Structure 1
Amino acid sequence: MDIAEPLLAAHRARFAAVDPLLPPAPPPAAGERLDAATSDGTQVTGVLQRVRLAPGDVPMLWSAADTWQLFPYFGDTGTEGVDLLLRALKGRLSTEPTEDDSACVVVWPSRDAEAIRAFLDHGLVPLSALGVRTAPPPEGLPEIAVRRAGPDDYDTALKLAEATFEYTGLVASARRANTAELLGPALRRALAETEPLVWLAEEDGEPRALAQCAWEDATPGSEAAELLPPGRWGYVNNVVTLPGERGGGFGRALMAHVHRELHRGGATRTYLYYNPTNPLSSVFWHRQGYRPLWTTWEVRPAAALR
């Protein structure tokens, strides 16, 4: 996709200015082009991609079945530029029917307040954020037992993992009826790994909390490098404390252990996705040293875009 060089340079300069932790903005995405011009004649451009999922696709855990994702290029035009591109997207959506299980999505640097103003004005909400933690692991560990999980823990781990979606289904993406079926295969593989990255916090031998993690190498040209600075990252995929046990320190103890283990394995930084609308995780992860780098702004169904 060709984008005018001055606009692309302004786009990259915006990323560099808004958050020094952002990696360099990647080349323009492929897709359908949307163009507009500001009141002073400055051109802004959006690239639109449409993704359709089948019921058995794992991204259905957090995504609509039919997603229209906008990649904005508005340089230094601020709120006006974003507003114009979202208006263009609204016009494009009016040309064909959209389903109830659909969404408009924009993934954008979390600290860009000028863009946030336009997102809110058009009915998008911050349903997901990529949070990063760059601090060293804690020195000491709270006195709660934490152990690595293995294949024999599958049923327990799946029950805990499902509990995440029971709660987030109230405050973010709706829970799918086949959540366990979508979670199961990846969880079973993770538990069978020779270097397991699934941990359980226990009390009197009974599991109280789960953390499922992975490694992510942000190398030049990789998908991860479009979102993260270069290096080896620890990915905190799913963390949950059993309902009724929340607030008892299990999550804090578990993550103190996990951060040390990930650091020991070579990850100097960690990242995760959390729901800003979740009144539990949005507080917990900030206290754990995470701060938002990218935010996913979304409106469902797609036709609800204002």
Structure 2
Amino acid sequence: MHIEIVPFSDTHLEEAAALLALRHQGDHVLEPALPERFTQAAAARAAVEAIWRKPDATGVVAMYEGRMIGYLIGVPRINQVWGRSVWVYLAGHAVNRTYGSEVYRDLYAALSPSWVALGCYAHYALIPASDQPALDAWFALSFGKEQAHGIRETADASSLAPPVDPSLEIRRAELADLEASLELDEIIPRHQSRAPVYAPYWFEEYAPFGDKEAIRQESIEIFQDENAKFWLALRNGRIVGYQLYMPASPHFDKIDNLMVPEQCSYLAIAATREEEQGRGVGRALTAHGLAKAQTDGYTHCITDWRVTNLLSSRFWPRQGFRPVAYRLSRRLDERIAWSHEKPSPSPWLS
């Protein structure tokens, strides 16, 4: 089968939307909690176009016998947190499954040289968790799972059978709890700096995420936000864990989020002191948070976790969260910038 790869343009939006809608129809059958609107061409087109209109977005299309059978759009994201990276969002790719997911490898081979020429050696792609052939194609491009995005229904606490611990108090945080709660903020970055996650930890400076005063001010805003539910777990008056629930946004950076249904809560952060882990603190907070979310009118809750974080990658599925997408990542060896006969970017754009 001879596939022709051509640059993505505005003329491809309609066909790309049709492919995305078709893919999402299959995803929605397997996970009915996903938003149904993206099974329709109009919503799918808006999602693709939002990606395509991002600054410096680049894309390619796979054509076979005059028909589009796949497309891929990458968006550069260059900042202190992610470095020089390119992202492929859920609406930024789709292939006609009749022709196989191997098409993804041809698309990536054609598009990624422009990313390398930009100096972006960190590549990320969000792939539906139910699409194993697509995952296999990206794995064969040396991508690996980095982050899981999960969803579940909200529910009353009794249906979740939380542990009964009379010494544990669950209540909403107040501004007076600010300083004590900030003591727990470094639990997650410290834990994820260790094996087997090995995520960078910036110690006291924690530069990419702002200085401590900025973090403190952001916490104050969360405490004062009526829509943000910050639940504390206390034992003998001491904060031993917390969870933050917020309304899930159907958009991220003006990009449609294909994972967020209507009336959805977002479990944004959860932390438990190390000495309290395994004692039911997380389960009690989750049961309480999901029950309160249901009372507030939310039907679903989403969250995400590092798959290399052994604690979270085992805990959240046990709490009923079903993976709906994986963030895959690949980091190229930066020596490719100078290890060729010709200086970059010539080898990549020839």
Q: TM-score range by the shorter chain?
A: 0.7 to 0.9
Of the three residues 68, 73, 77, the one matched with 1:47 is: 73
Residues 1:267 and 2:298 aligned together: yes
Contact kept? 2:154, 2:298, Cα under 8 Å: no
Report the alpha carbon displacement of residue 36 of structure 1 after superposing the two structures with TM: 3.8
Which residue matches 2:276?
A: 245
Residues in 2 aligned to 1:66 and 1:243: alpha-carbon distance in whole angstroms: 33
Native 8 Å contact 1:209 1:251 kept in 2: yes
CA shift, 1:293, in A, is: 1.2
Deviations 1:25-49 (A, max 9, x none): 6322212122345699864321121
1:115 to 131, 134, 138: 134
Equivalent position to 1:236, from 249, 264, 267: 267
* 1:79 and 1:114 in contact (8 A); partners too: yes
Displacement of 1:145 in angstroms is: 1.0
Q: 1:298 to 1:217 in 2, by over 3 A?
A: closer
Bigger RCO of structures 1 and 2 (CA < 8 A, at least 6 apart): 1
The CA deviation at 1:169 is 3.1
Q: How does 1:131-150 map to 2 (within 5 A)?
A: 131-139=150-158, 141=162, 142-143=164-165, 144-150=168-174
Q: Which range moves more in the overlay, 186-195 or 238-247? A: 186-195
Asked which structure has the greater CA Rg, the reply is 2
Q: Does 1:67 align with 2:85?
A: yes
1:184 corresponding residue in structure 2: 216
Q: Number of residue pairs matched?
A: 291
Greater Cα offset, 31-40 or 139-148: 31-40
Residue 60 of structure 2 aligns to a residue in which SS? strand
Q: Return the letter of the residue paired with 1:114.
A: P
Residue 216 of structure 1 aligns with which residue?
248
Partner of residue 286 from structure 2, selected from 255, 279, 287:
255
State the shift of 1:284 in Å.
0.7
Secondary structure at the residue paired with 1:189? helix
Q: How does 1:27-38 map to 2 (within 5 A)?
A: 27=45, 28=48, 29-30=51-52, 31-37=57-63
CA distance in 2, matches of 1:129, 1:282: 8
- CA distance in structure 2 between the aligned counterparts of 1:145 and 1:11, rounded to whole angstroms: 46
Partner of 1:9: 18
240-249 or 42-51, which deviates more: 42-51
How many Å apart are 1:116 and its aligned residue? 0.6
Distance 1:252 1:193 in 2: 25
State the AA in 2 paired with 1:200. L
1:207 to 2:239 alignment: yes
Out of 161-170 and 268-277, give the one that drifted further: 161-170
Aligned-pair CA distance for 1:174:
2.5
**TM-score w.r.t. length of structure 2:** 0.74
Does the CA contact (< 8 Å) of 2:151 and 2:300 recur in 1?
A: yes
CA distance, structure 2, for counterparts of residue 279 and residue 147 of structure 1: 28
**2:87 is paired with a residue of what secondary structure?**
strand
Q: Distance in 2 between matches of 1:36 and 1:303?
A: 28
2: distance between equivalents of 1:51 and 1:6? 26
Q: Which secondary structure state, in structure 1, belongs to the residue aligned with residue 185 of structure 2?
A: helix
Q: Evaluate the alpha carbon distance shift between residue 13 and residue 195 of structure 1 in structure 2; reply closer, same or farther with a 3 A threshold.
A: closer
CA contact (8 A) 1:35 1:88 kept: no
2:189 maps to 1:165: yes
Change beyond 3 A, Cα 1:113–1:195: closer
TM-score scaled by structure 1? 0.84
User: In structure 2, which of residues 143, 159, 180 is the aligned counterpart of residue 124 of structure 1?
Assistant: 143
Which residues of structure 2 form unaligned runs of 5+? 1-9, 337-350
State the SS of the aligned residue for 1:226.
coil
Residue deviations 1:171-212 (CA, integer Å, cap 9, x gap): 164234335736433322112234651111111111111111
Q: Give the Cα–Cα distance (whole angstroms) in 2 for the partners of residues 150 and 206 of structure 1.
A: 14
Moved segments of 4+, more than 6 Å = 38-41
CA distance in structure 2 between the aligned counterparts of 1:228 and 1:267, rounded to whole angstroms: 12
Which consecutive residues of structure 1, in runs of 5 or more, have no partner in the other structure?
A: none
